[in-house]
Amino acid sequence: MIKKTNYVTAEGLTKLKQELEELVKTKRPALVERVARARDYGDLSENSEYSNAREELNLTDQRIDELEAAIKGAQVIQQHKDDDNKVGIGESITIKTNGTTKTYVLVGELEADPTNNKISISSPIGQSLLGKKEGEKVKIQTPGGEAIYTVVRVD
């Protein structure tokens, strides 16, 4: 099996570990208890509570496996300001397109959350911006069509 590197900020790794702990110590034991109670209801072939509990337990176990793999392959991004003003992972970047200026943080896939201005380094925008300097213009193919972004600031 190929080990995948997951770039995360220190804050992102903490959140992954907290989610894993919550699932392992609280949610999974509660689901195991729920499955046991539902089993006592009788005929399992017609017991929707049992089926639902088993399904939720299976999904929780899958998420636990995903989190364990993600944490094992995590590489914490060292956030530091370089003098070169190049866009890098973990840095805050201000970009301008079509007269609109927005600030984002470039993060790994696990932390990507566009609604909270965190864009993945694997996204078309993230890939295109990596290594660019303040003042550079970048032409990016987005789902809405081609757009030109200008790197205004790198923090």
Length of the chain: 155
Residue 142, pLDDT score: 78
CA distances from 69 to 12, 63, 66 (A): 15, 10, 5
Domains of the chain in start order, with CATH, are 6-76 (1.10.287.180), 92-154 (3.10.50.30)
Q: Report the alpha-carbon distance of residue 122 to residue 100 in Å, rounded.
A: 23
Residue 80, pLDDT score: 57
Q: Which residues pair with 103 in a beta bridge?
A: 94
Residue 19, pLDDT score: 96
3-state secondary structure of 90: coil
CA distances from 100 to 86, 96, 112, 124, 146 (A): 21, 5, 21, 19, 15
Q: Report the alpha-carbon distance of residue 30 to residue 55 in Å, rounded.
A: 14
Lookup: tokens for 113: 């959350």
Residue 9, pLDDT score: 85
**What is the residue-level pLDDT of the chain in tens, covering all 155 positions?**
456 778 888 888 999 999 999 999 999 999 999 998 888 877 666 678 888 999 999 999 999 999 999 999 998 887 655 557 788 888 899 999 988 999 999 998 888 998 999 999 888 889 999 999 999 999 988 778 888 999 999 98
3-state secondary structure of 63: helix
Residue 104, pLDDT score: 93
